[in-house]
Amino acid sequence: MSQFKNEQEAAAAGVYIRKIQSFVKREGRLTAGQAKSIELHWPTMGLEHASGLQNFTDTFGRQAPVVLEIGFGMGKSLVEMAQNEPDKDFIGIEVHKPGVGACLGEAAEKGVKNLRVFEHDAVEILADCVADNSLARVQLFFPDPWHKTRHHKRRIVQPEFVQKLRSKLAIGGVFHMATDWENYSEHMLEVMTEAEGFKNQSESNDFVPRPAQRPLTKFEQRGHRLGHGVWDLMFERVS
């Protein structure tokens, strides 16, 4: 990238720079049920990156605090949260199509109306589709930990990313992360403690107990039984 200030400048010069992404696109098998859910529910619940900047009041037909979740996996806990907090509107972003299908199916089954979904890279959605100061909360639960040191640069929590995310949160809005990988929890804490404009909501300036709003997953319950840890971090945008 050396002779260019950023990707846009390189693109304008006709140079394609391979971005470091936080995911590797897995083309896992889409089940017939997931495909059917996408066919049935994408028209009402799907949002397109190509549509550009969203006006959430129009998207949901009302004015309510908006919660955005990055990498919702199969979407079970996202749907449960949307159901438990009907006074808020939820946007889920996931690159894995089977997860999108599973989430739409689950939301439809539960009759959840306050949820919309993007199938796209969350970094690009934040940049292109989310207005500044528009989010009440951003959730990042169990992001890919990228265990190997040489892959740590792929971790989504990085100084530049959290500043982009900060501009999308309203003042007073919260960035909520959870991970079961201790080394990643330490990395998150380090990046967030050094990030301008955020205040740690932890009394001990590190981690917070799992807030009741984040459902305990089966995977996590099993982890607890096996003595594995889970670390929650909550940082408020203060400036």
Ligand X SMILES: C[S@@+](CC[C@H](N)C(=O)[O-])C[C@H]1O[C@@H](n2cnc3c(N)ncnc32)[C@H](O)[C@@H]1O
Q: How far is the CB of 177 from ligand X (least distance, A)?
A: 11
> Which one of 4, 7, 10, 23 is in contact with ligand X (CB under 6 A)?
23
Residues 108 to 147 in contact with ligand X, rule: CB under 6 A: 121-123, 141-144
Report CA-CA distances (Å) from 89 to 56, 68, 104, 113, 156.
9, 9, 15, 9, 24
d(CA 18, CA 86): 40
- Name the nearest CA neighbour of 190 among 148, 233, 229, 141: 233
Q: How far is the CB of 98 from ligand X (least distance, A)?
A: 9
The DSSP symbol for 167 reads H
The DSSP symbol for 95 reads S
The DSSP symbol for 73 reads T
Residues 150 to 169 in contact with ligand X, rule: CB under 6 A: 156
Catalytic residue among 132, 144, 206, 232: 144
**144 an active-site residue?**
yes
- Name the nearest CA neighbour of 45 among 122, 114, 128, 124: 114
Any known ligand binding at 180? Answer: yes
Size of the site for ligand X (CB under 6 A): 19
Q: Does 232 interact with ligand X (rule: CB under 6 A)?
A: no
The C-alpha torsion from 29 through 31 and 34 to 40, rounded to 10°, is 120
Binding mask 26-65 for ligand X (x = CB under 6 A): ----------------------------------------
Do 161 and 188 touch, CB atoms closer than 8 A? Answer: no
Residues 73 to 112 in contact with ligand X, rule: CB under 6 A: 73, 93-96, 99
Sites of contact with ligand X (CB under 6 A): 22-23, 70-73, 93-96, 99, 121-123, 141-144, 156
- Residues classed as catalytic: 144
**Residue ranges at the known binding site for substrate:** 148, 180, 217-220
**Residue ranges at the known binding site for S-adenosyl-L-methionine:** 69, 94, 121, 144
